[in-house]
Structure formats: structure tokens, C-alpha cells
Amino acid sequence: MNAAGRLAAFGAGLAVAFTAAYVTAAAVVPDTAVTATQHVGAEPAADHSAPTEQALPVSPLSADPPGLSLAQDGYTLSAVRGPGAPNDRGRLSFTIAGPSGTPLLDYATVHDKQLHLIVVRSDGQHFAHVHPVLDRATGIWSTPWMWKAAGAYRVFADFQPAQASSTKLTLTRTVDLAGELAPSPPMTTRTVDEIAGYTVELDGALTAGVSKQLTARIIRDGEPVTTLQPYLGAYGHLVALREGDMAYLHVHPEGAEPVGDRTGGPAVTFAATAPTAGRYLLYLDFKVDDTVHTATFVVDAARGATNQPAPEPSRDAGHAGGH
């Protein structure tokens, strides 16, 4: 389908969604995406078991970068169920369907876990990186959960099927959570963050289409922290999302893996390739004294020799949809 046809189909999908009184979240969709949009209606107000959910367009090809599709290579992320209002406690649950249409039960272990779940609001706030538990009897993944605020959230399931020929996949959905939305100011670039008494500095720069090194240095009370504990097979775990469409970048730690319980620090280095010029949100998890902390950075990737800039990012945190 050409670009005009895709835009027409997308407009028709929006008209249908409006007529059916669904509430959708803003998302920047690349031209290569197929405009097959699924909307999951909200449960009645008395049943706060599932917020309104919007499925992102499905790409028939391997997404580059990942994190822009609910299905890839025959694997599909189901509807995501969870508490229906901010500050309600419950469980977040979903399944991964395999090519046969049945829930996938066998996963490879990557970075010490079989599945990594990343949840973040579309304005970059309220980031969470958790590891659900699989019920092999049903194929349902679940984890204790509480939404911190209303808005549109991106939910990323990062995993690799156990089959020998499989590759790592990142599937995603957008979940609209009803409630009063408190808008946050646009993020500005920053390479230093303060979290729980730690100062975390990020050195390095991103260039579109080029693998670059990023080094995080952790300091406390003016002294380098050398007691970083192994976490997910390294001394730090970095998630990078492109502002606007929230495309998910795979970022790889550099250097040898930790041996046993040996501590490290103060520096942790990663290799990252930005697919396009534009702004990126970076979230660094590190562990000290058995507690995981998350530092947040905002960096701009320079345009490479042949790369085009990313689409103009959306500043909207998403609509607060009704039930």
C-alpha cells in the first residue's frame, strides 16, 4: 500500500474509533507500519480490571527499531489487563501467543530473565522495569501492579522464544488509563541525574546509524561508588526510547560479565545505536545494597551521514479515557 493509501486507511480507522466512542492515545507511526488498529473496550465502571487499550499498528516485517508493533515473526502480545484506576492495587497480566495461536510457554533466558516488561507513560514519566512470573498452566504472565497516574502508557514485552532459530523480540501495546491527567513539562536534555543520594553522570554522544559508547558513572557524597552489585548479568541495565513514537532500542553492556557476587563500579559502559537523529530517553537501572535505582537521562542523537531525523515528537502524554 502506498503512503496515501496508508494515510487514508488510518483516517478511516480513526473515524470508526470515534463513532464507537473509544478513546485513543497519540502515537507517531512510521510510514512502513501497516494501519491495522485494534481497540479494546473498557470494562464497566464497577469492574476496574482493565483500562482502555489501543493496539499499535502491526508491521509484517521485522521492525527496525523494535518496539513499534504488537506482533512480529508470528508472535503476538495479547491485551494487557490490570487495575482500572490510578493507585488501585492489582495485577498486570498478558500472554504471548506463538505462531500456532496458542500461548508461548518456552523462553530463552536473556539477561538473567525469560521476559523483561518495560512500562512508561508516553511523556517519559513513571518508568518501570519489572519481571513478571509465567503460569505455565495458562501461559499468562503476571506481576503485582499499581498505576501511579492517569495517561497513556506504553507496555513493552522484551523476550526471546526458546527455539534455536529465534531472535530477541520487543512487542508493545498502548494502554489508556482513565483519570485526571496532570501534564508534565517537555523533557529537556540532561546527562546528570540525582537519585536516592547518588549522582549519576552520563558521558558520550549518540549519532544516527553509528554504534557509540555511553558511560554512566555513579558517585555518592563526592566519592566514586565501587559497590555496584550484578544486576541482570551486568553492573547496570540501560533502556533507550525514542521520544515521540517510543521506539525501543536494544542497548548492550560492554565488558566482561560480573563473576559471582563481585561488585564493580563506578563506571558502566554501553554500546548504543540510534536509528535516527532526534531525542532519546534513557533509563539506567543499577543496584547497590540490594536496592535497584533508576537514573533518567535525555540526550539528542546527531544526524548521521545518511540518516534522516525522526518524526516530530508528540508532546501529548495521552488522553485520559473513560470507562
- Binned at pLDDT 50, 70 and 90, residue 129 comes out as very high
Model pTM score? 0.78
At 267, which amino acid appears?
A: A
- Helix (H) and strand (E) counts for the chain? 1, 22
Chain position carrying cell 469492574:
47
At 12, which amino acid appears?
A: A
Contact 281, 241 (CB under 8 A): yes
Alpha helices in the chain (DSSP H): 3-19
Which helix (H) or strand (E) segment holds residue 155: the answer is strand 151-159
Chain position carrying cell 507500519:
33
- Residue 130's pLDDT is 98
Grid cell, residue 189, equals 536534555
pLDDT in tens, 66-105: 899 999 999 999 999 999 999 999 999 999 999 999 999 9
- Binned at pLDDT 50, 70 and 90, residue 251 comes out as confident
Q: What Cα–Cα distance (Å) separates residue 182 from each residue in 179, 241, 319? A: 9, 22, 11
Grid cell, residue 303, equals 544526524
- Please report, for the chain, the start and end positions of each structural domain, with discontinuous segments joined by +: 3-177, 192-302
How long, in residues, is the chain? Answer: 323
Candidates 284, 266, 189; CA nearest to 221 is 266
Q: Is 14 helix (H, G, I), strand (E, B) or coil?
A: helix
Contact 127, 149 (CB under 8 A): no
pLDDT in tens, 162-192: 988 889 999 999 999 999 988 788 889 999 9
Displacement of CA 91 from its chain's centroid (Å) = 18
Distance separating alpha carbons of residues 119 and 259, to the nearest angstrom:
30
> Is 307's pLDDT higher than 80?
no
Percent of the chain with pLDDT over 90: 67
> Average pLDDT over the chain, rounded to whole?
80
Chain position carrying cell 517519559:
124
Alpha helices in 136-190 (DSSP H): none
User: DSSP labels for 12-46?
Assistant: HHHHHHHHTT---------TTSB----EEPPPPTT
Question: Which is more confident, 30 or 245?
Answer: 245
Distance separating alpha carbons of residues 80 and 117, to the nearest angstrom:
12
Candidates 45, 121, 37, 130; CA nearest to 91 is 130
- Residue 306's pLDDT is 56
Grid cell, residue 12, equals 478511516
The strand pair at 278-288 and 267-273 is best described as: unpaired
Distance separating alpha carbons of residues 303 and 175, to the nearest angstrom:
32
Distance separating alpha carbons of residues 321 and 249, to the nearest angstrom:
28
Distance separating alpha carbons of residues 50 and 84, to the nearest angstrom:
5
- Binned at pLDDT 50, 70 and 90, residue 310 comes out as low
Q: Does domain 192-302 have CATH number 3.30.565.10?
A: no
Candidates 204, 264, 214, 211; CA nearest to 234 is 264
E strands present in 178-243? 192-195, 198-203, 206-207, 211-220, 223-224, 237-242
Of 42-46, 185-189, 319-323, the range with the highest mean pLDDT is 185-189
DSSP letter assigned to residue 308: P
Contact 199, 192 (CB under 8 A): yes
